[in-house]
Structure 1
Amino acid sequence: MSHRGGEVPRLEAVEGVIENDGSIPLYRHPADESPPLHPFTPTVSLIAQAVSKVVNHPVNHVLIQHYRSGNDYISEHSDKTIDVVRGSNIVNVSIGAQRVMFLRRKKDLSPTRYAQRIPLPHNSVFVMGLNTNPEWLHGIHRDNHPVKTKSDVETAFGGERISLTFRRIGTYLTNDSSLIYGQGAVGKMREEARPVINGIPEESQKLIDAFGKENHESLFDWDDAYGQGFDVVNYTV
């Protein structure tokens, strides 16, 4: 996956539940281009079932990220919720070497930017509370510590980690990816599906600006920023 003209510092794949009519769950976030969505594999499907029991609601989308070593990271951010069913939880499952999740208060909440460090051990589940994403940024920093100073859990599995972030998505593309509908689109129902917008810089910039607000504002107004819906899928600015 690429972002701002360069490859992201980790490997990524996307899987999800394809609807009976072929509709595909769509999760939009700042990226020049996202991987194609494939159906849940049997293993991922089993993990998704376990996650659903933890949060008491179904999940239909997973972003799989491979942190190949301590050099791979993800910058601090808030998850973009235009397509995430409102009131649902975001869940991260960690497999492999332990990394640390950093949570940092958004700047408009506290000038001191309080931070927390949360270890993510092998086979652990991290549930993003409904108030956490609006008020805190989260990320995994690059780990440049010498190998000899790391613990066994940090060097396990050759230092590699697989991250699976499960979401309940309420926005969909039709099976040929030509139409969009649902929570984050202009047309909210399947029969109201509208053509996907690509290659129109003005429309892309509006959505990117809304993403920026969610990343920086603790009192982010979802209805004001996203409520009207966006039919942009690939961003051109």
Structure 2
Amino acid sequence: MLLDGQLHYYPSLLDPQQADILYQQLLQEIPWQTGHVFIYGREHLIPRLQAWHGDPGISYTYSGKTLRADAWTPTLANLCQQLNQLLGLQLNAVLCNLYRNGNDCMGWHADDEKELGENPQILSISLGAERDFALRRQGSSRQSGTLRLANGSLLDMRPGMQNHWQHSLPKRARIQQSRINLTFRTLYN
């Protein structure tokens, strides 16, 4: 338990062999795409591949783009169902990111879009290469800490975290392996 209980980290939700099998399934099963975002009125390619899956009619808007959910793949649907049963949640969508190597990254942000409600809970599964998850307080420009996300780990960003903290996945040039990150969430459309 970290950040006064707003962040829970489980380094071995899956054993390494399970995580590797799941990684390979998702690498083949998900229709990975190059995404775009609007920053300061200009469109930019995002430095990773992504996919958005969820229940019918679910859409998600961030950085000036609206994503309409593709149907669940069998593996993603199974994972979502297991997480809902395990934690008593009603997750209905997942944002999938494929970081091809250490040059792919995610900038500072909080998952605080209106579709997520006032105090979203977001579950993040990491598969593949270990990467740093950087944290800083909302309104600060200084990084407060880093958590190394292991293959097969689960990061539970509890209600309230997105209101007080920002996070990023910084570049790490020495990392040559890829990583899949699945962020399950509940959207209210």
The two structures share one fold, judged by TM-score above 0.5: yes
- C-alpha displacement at 1:33, in angstroms? 5.6
Task: Please say if 1:160 is aligned against 2:178.
Answer: yes
2:127 & 2:89 partners in 1: Cα distance?
Answer: 22
Q: Is the 8 A contact 1:60 1:168 kept in 2?
A: yes
Decide which of 107, 123, 130 is 2:152's aligned counterpart. 123
Q: Which runs of 5+ in 1 are unaligned?
A: 19-23, 148-154, 172-237
Three-state SS of the structure 1 residue aligned to 2:123 is: strand
After superposition, give the CA deviation of every residue in 1:105-149 in whole Å (9 maximum; x if it has no partner).
Answer: 1236xx8x451211111111111121211111101000023x5xx
1:101 & 1:165 partners in 2: Cα distance?
Answer: 13
TM-score normalised according to structure 2 size: 0.73
Give the structure 2 partner of residue 25 of structure 1. 58
**Identity between Structure 1 and Structure 2 (%):** 26
Three-state SS of the structure 1 residue aligned to 2:115 is: coil
2:62 & 2:125 partners in 1: Cα distance?
Answer: 20
Decide which of 15, 36, 54 is 1:2's aligned counterpart. 36
The number of residue pairs the alignment matches comes to 151
Give the structure 2 partner of residue 15 of structure 1. 53
2:120 & 2:137 partners in 1: Cα distance?
Answer: 21
2:93 & 2:159 partners in 1: Cα distance?
Answer: 18
Q: Which has the higher contact order (CA 8 A, sep 6+)?
A: 2
Kindly provide the amino acid, as one letter, of the partner of residue 167 in structure 1. Answer: R
- C-alpha displacement at 1:58, in angstroms? 1.3
- The alignment's C-alpha RMSD in Å is 1.9
Task: Please say if 1:42 is aligned against 2:60.
Answer: no
Q: Is the 8 A contact 1:99 1:119 kept in 2?
A: yes
- C-alpha displacement at 1:54, in angstroms? 4.2
Q: Which runs of 5+ in 2 are unaligned?
A: 1-34
Kindly provide the amino acid, as one letter, of the partner of residue 16 in structure 1. Answer: G
Decide which of 106, 119, 124 is 1:74's aligned counterpart. 106
2:82 & 2:117 partners in 1: Cα distance?
Answer: 19
- C-alpha displacement at 1:88, in angstroms? 4.2
Give the structure 1 partner of residue 163 of structure 2. 134
- C-alpha displacement at 1:86, in angstroms? 4.2
